[in-house]
Amino acid sequence: MAELWYGLAVFMLTAYVVLDGFDFGAGALHLTVARTDAERRQVLAAIGPYWDGNEVWLLAAGGALFVSFPRVLSAGVSGFYFAIFLVLWCLVFRGISIEFRHHVADPVWKQACDFFFWLPSLLLPVFFGAALGNLLRGVPLSADGWFALPLFTDFSARPPMGILDWYTVAVGVFALAALVAHGGAFLVWKTDGPVRQRSRRIARLAFTVTAILWPLLTVATIRVNDAFLPALARRPLAWLLAAVALAGLASALLGLSRGRDRAAFLGSCAFLAGLSTATAACVFPVLLRATGDSALSMTAYNASGDEAGLRTALGWLFVGMPLAILYFVFLFRFHRGKATAPADGEGY
């Protein structure tokens, strides 16, 4: 049961990365690829039907962790308390700027909304990437399962460590590059005109940067986590998923070069999904790695919830998850085609 819930949590987090990732990337590109008010409304129209539904997967993942691995969730929330509040404020400002931009015609209001759509969209991939970096590097878990981290110390990735160091910042930068590429591929698929042309140029550059950073970051991960390479070597599933990621990256670059917009976006989805799941396969069963003493790490086995509760929750999950998946299938089919900018003053 612990393995099943580990897989379900990974699935939900991967769905969040892939789905909310493209509107983070679109937001980070917003001020670059859209230079007029009409073009910015076109970008918002492209992500408008999806962005709030995409965030549901973050809530679903949090709920799954609450049910299946409550000790991990409680330790993580308390240890990353300040960082989580930064993420929440970014999500709040981003949502307000999307929903209320068209309510006031004043140019100053629209510029402020554009800024608060762009900045959180730029910061959130870095924050989430740094969070992943902390999980891979490890945190100073105590014997009773708690930890506290300052924002930064000496940036060395060695105790005493902070949330930010050279490694976690590097993971954040990689996440930003990957999601900018993902958002650019989405805008190439869903827009036309100058926005599509600018998005194509930036997406190709971002995918190239991502391809360069990926092996470098893998080496860095092996350096800070001595269990990562042995796990990668003996787990064929991790190699298979890494191959999916590599094929997705190649497909994205090839699709952008040949004008196959949907294939490029689907390749980007495969890259992010393959990379996320391959990483999860390498670190399994560890959920919260302890630095110094691996016996203190929280795993899918020593931090799982009550067996009866997990079985009950599983029954409800198999009711809700298919409905959520069907909703997204309907949403993408209903809004197929290119997005057009709504009239000034109207929402997306």
Would you give the distance in Å from CA 168 to the centre of its chain?
15
3-state SS assignment for residue 164 = strand
Amino acid at 201: R
Strand, coil or helix: 290: strand
CA–CA separation, 306 and 69 (whole Å):
9
**Which residues of the chain fall below pLDDT 70?**
344-348
Amino acid in position 310: L
Measured CA to CA in angstroms, residue 256 lies from 68, 117, 274, 331 at distances of 40, 26, 20, 24
pLDDT at 79: 87
> What confidence score (pLDDT) does residue 266 get?
97
Question: Domain extents for the chain?
Answer: 2-307
Residues of 18-44 as b/e, b for ≥16 C-beta within 10 angstroms? bbbbbbbbbbbbbbebbeeeebbbbbb
Say what angle helices 70-79 and 56-68 make with each other, to 10 degrees: 120
CATH of domain 2-307: 1.20.1630
Helix, strand, or coil (residue 286): strand
The Cα–Cα gap between 270 and 17 comes to 11
Q: Label residue 275 exposed, middle or buried (CB < 10 Å: 0-12, 13-18, 19+).
A: buried
Residue 131 is encoded by which pair of tokens? 């969070």
Question: 298: which strand partners?
Answer: 288
Residues 291/237, Cβ–Cβ less than 8 Å:
no
Cβ atoms within 10 Å, residue 337: 6
Q: Supply the DSSP symbol for 139.
A: B
| Cα torsion 22, 28, 31, 37: sign | positive
Q: pLDDT value at position 344? A: 67
Give alpha helix (H) positions in 34-103. 37-47, 51-54, 56-68, 70-79, 81-100
Give the Cα separation of 68 and 3 in Å (integer): 10
All residues at 6 or more sequence positions from 234 whose CB lies less than 8 Å from its CB, including other chains:
none
**Dist. CA 10–CA 161, nearest whole Å:** 26
Q: What is the DSSP string of 184-249?
A: HHHHHHH--HHHHHHHHHHHHHHHHHHHHHHHHHHHHHHHH-TTHHHHHHH-HHHHHHHHHHHHHH
Q: Parallel, antiparallel, or unpaired: how do β-strands 298-299 and 286-288 relate? A: antiparallel
pLDDT of residue 8: 93
Q: 289: which DSSP letter?
A: P
The reported pLDDT for the residue numbered 300 is: 92
54 close to 20: Cβ distance less than 8 angstroms: yes
Distance, CA of 54 to CA of 15 (rounded, Å): 8
The label of the residue with tokens 């629209």 reads: 110
C-alpha to C-alpha distance for 218 and 104, rounded to whole angstroms: 47
Q: Say how far apart CA 151 and CA 295 lie, in whole Å.
A: 25
The whole-angstrom separation of Cα 71 and Cα 144 is 10
pTM: predicted TM-score of the whole model, two decimal places:
0.94
The pLDDT > 90 percentage for the chain reads: 68
Q: pLDDT (tens digit, 9 = 90+) per residue, 211-230?
A: 999 999 999 999 999 889 88
Q: Which residue has the tokens 């990337």?
A: 25
Tell me the residue length of the chain: 348
Q: What is the mean pLDDT of the chain?
A: 92
For 289-348, how does the pLDDT look when each residue is reduced to its tens digit (9 = 90+)?
998 788 889 999 988 888 888 888 888 888 888 998 999 999 999 888 888 877 766 666
